[in-house]
Amino acid sequence: MVRSSIISLSFFLTSIIGLGSAQVVNPAQNVVANFDDGTVNTAVGVYDDLRFSGFNFAKSNLKSSSSQLAAVAKLSTNTLTSDPPSIDIAYSGSDVAWFQPQSLNFGCILNLPGLPGAPLTCTLLFTPYRAVANPDGSQSFQPLAQQKETSVPGLNTSDGMRKITFGSTGNIVRMVVTIEDTGKTIAGILNGVLGSTVSLVIDDFKFIIAHN
């Protein structure tokens, strides 16, 4: 099954060698990850050549069709002790050189024990990282400017979610998602409610990707 719409952004660079063999040189591609062919309650993992850490395939009442899936991650209100969800290329066997986020739909769900999930206003920080060469030959991640976005139930138009367009990040290797101002609104809602969580829902993630 085709998992995404892939449109070539560059023609294959070819050279005539001998009887006319062709050589492909790092073609960039435009990809839309829609997560529709996953299995509910399993980890997204590597999908469309990006690794979605902390995300599971799930149905969401933010989607206009209950049969469609999205990528869902539980968001911690204490980022000091919990790894936030992220999207990156640094997994075993990866031949990805870089990616550029273009747009996605997102929303937040408040999960209370025994009750259906309810849409929740939330403000998220999207932090891109680029790879930087160190003097010893190793590489490290350098954070770039964060992009802050707010999803407000009732004002969103894309399957009950907010559609955002990312600013120019250049070629990156990782993007991390965290909640802004967790010490106030969301932490206050969750305080004293055992088993309550907030989930991030993303869908239709559009990005440009290039391979080595």
Minimum mean pLDDT range among 26-30, 47-51, 146-150, 177-181 = 177-181
Helix (H) or strand (E) holding 100: strand 96-111
| pLDDT attached to residue 67 | 58
Residues 6+ apart with CB under 8 A from 94: 46, 49, 51
pLDDT for residue 184 is more than 60: no
Q: What pTM was computed for the model?
A: 0.80
Q: Where are the domains of the chain?
A: 32-211
> CA 118, 64, 185 angle in degrees (round to 5)?
25
CATH number, domain 32-211: 2.60.120
Question: Each residue of 37-71: pLDDT tens digit?
Answer: 999 999 999 999 999 999 999 988 776 555 589 99
